[in-house]
Amino acid sequence: MTVTTNRSPIIALDVMSGEAGAAEAIAAADIAAERYPRLSFLLFGRQDVIAAELVRWPRLASRAQIIHCDDVIGMSDKPSQALRRARSTSMGMAINAVKQGDANAAVSAGNTGALMAMSLFALRTMPGIDRPALAAVLPTLKSESVMLDLGANTECDATNLVQFAVMGAAFARTVLGLERPRVALLNIGEEELKGTGEIRAAAAVLKGARLPMKFIGFVEGDKIGSGDVDVVVTDGFSGNIAVKTAEGTSRLVTGLLGNAFRASIWGKLGYFIARGALQSLRAHLDPNAHNGAVFLGLNGLVVKSHGGANARGLANAIGVAHDLVADDVSRRIRDDLAGVDMASATAAAPDAA
């Protein structure tokens, strides 16, 4: 079978992985099927489990094919262990469907390290990309922004950062609908002399590149959520720490608010008055509303859902996959790379000041 992006995009869905279970995954696929009438699915997992769930969702059943596999990658499995079992697992078989051209994108809520290792091994990196990067959409004060890398690469040189910027901008043009996204490198200061040599060398290349983006220099960690930057670029070590810190701070603030509102009768009255605004805040910060991280830079699309995402959250991740397929984000990245002088990025970076 050969995929046909102009007719019916096909999503390879890893039904068995993730913490929510097969029932939530099937429900998510039906939500996505309603949102995208041309979307169809290959459902990877235990046939008896999937078939029993599909009885509840006739719309999805008419547009889905079950691919049976007994084995499932666990959340605690090491990437090396997962690679050895790739051919027999729901995760590995979903990725292989993209490699073979049977699906346009794979979606999984499973083990991130295993998914990254399997995807890289099966699909390899695109020409002109040294390393893939994990990109995701995050809430901001104004709307949403894209951040990468979120953990795929703990150490990056200037070339990697430039490539991440190109991929992140292409991703933002697709998922955020921006013609010229504002791109910045995460740094310890906004001044040109701040940061490591790699960061400053990457900034010099991006300033002179002809790309469909607006490079605005450096952004500090406390400005990530301001909404003044559309794409935040960093190495996976800093990016993972930054996003986990932001998630923890969000839980801290909502927890403190909850404690304050429950502390007294006046707090409960205040909650009643501000209930609408608080519900709006909760919805804006809900991880399910921003679900769907992407391994950019591979010869195929793989979308990572939060392991504990509910049906609505996983449906949003499937929606991200649909949009990237429809907008041919891989072609965008290839075209944009042609406007970058990578020779400058590979030159020796100056020492940090």
Instruction: Name which of 2, 24, 4, 6 is nearest 15 in CA terms.
Output: 24
Encoded tokens for 115 = 């998914």
Domain boundary among 123, 143, 168: 123
How far apart are the C-alpha atoms of 29 and 319, rounded to whole Å? 10
Q: Which amino acid is at 224?
A: I
Q: Is residue 317 part of a domain?
A: no
Q: Is residue 322 part of a domain?
A: no
**What are the tens digits of pLDDT across the range 266-296?**
777 776 777 676 666 666 666 666 778 899 9
SS3 state of residue 85: coil
Phi, psi dihedrals of residue 285, rounded to the nearest 5°: -90, -5
Residues 239 and 226 occupy one common structural domain: yes
Instruction: Name which of 267, 231, 272, 224 is nearest 249 in CA terms.
Output: 224
CB-CB contact of 156 with 225 (8 Å): no
Number of other residues whose CB lies within 10 A of the CB of residue 207: 11
Residues 92 and 55 occupy one common structural domain: yes
* Candidate from 8-12, 24-28, 113-117, 207-211 with smallest mean pLDDT: 207-211
**What are the tens digits of pLDDT across the range 196-253?**
889 999 999 998 888 889 999 999 998 998 889 999 999 999 988 988 888 788 778 7
Average pLDDT for 294-308 = 91
Average pLDDT for 123-147 = 90
Residues 213 and 233 occupy one common structural domain: yes
Q: Is residue 160 part of a domain?
A: yes
Domain boundary among 61, 92, 123: 123
CA 22 to the chain's CA centroid:
21
Residues 81 and 154 occupy one common structural domain: no
Domain boundary among 123, 158, 182: 123
pTM of structure: 0.85
How far apart are the C-alpha atoms of 13 and 43, rounded to whole Å? 5
Residue 35's domain spans which residues? Answer: 1-123
pLDDT over 70 for what percent of the chain? 90
Q: Is residue 104 part of a domain?
A: yes
Instruction: Name which of 32, 24, 30 is nearest 49 in CA terms.
Output: 24
Q: Is residue 304 part of a domain?
A: no
Residues 207 and 235 occupy one common structural domain: yes
Residues 85 and 188 occupy one common structural domain: no
pLDDT over 90 for what percent of the chain? 51
How far apart are the C-alpha atoms of 315 and 24, rounded to whole Å? 10
How far apart are the C-alpha atoms of 11 and 34, rounded to whole Å? 14
CATH number of the domain at 63, please.
3.40.718.10
* Between 288 and 299, the higher pLDDT residue: 299
How far apart are the C-alpha atoms of 143 and 97, rounded to whole Å? 34
Angle between helices 47-54 and 22-35 (to 10 degrees): 50
SS3 state of residue 89: strand
Q: Which amino acid is at 306?
A: H
How many domains does one find in the chain? 2
Q: Is residue 109 part of a domain?
A: yes
Residues 248 and 113 occupy one common structural domain: no
Distances (CA, A) of 178 to 64, 81, 207, 212: 32, 40, 19, 10
Residues 142 and 278 occupy one common structural domain: yes
Residues 173 and 116 occupy one common structural domain: no
Residues 93 and 167 occupy one common structural domain: no
Average pLDDT for 6-28 = 87
Residues 98 and 189 occupy one common structural domain: no
What pLDDT was estimated at residue 140?
87
Residues 69 and 143 occupy one common structural domain: no
Encoded tokens for 266 = 């006046």
Q: Is residue 318 part of a domain?
A: no
Alpha helices (runs of H) in the chain, residue ranges in sequence order: 22-35, 47-54, 58-61, 79-84, 90-99, 112-123, 158-175, 197-208, 236-262, 265-285, 311-326, 329-337, 342-346
Q: Is residue 37 part of a domain?
A: yes
- pLDDT of 2 over the 50 cut: no
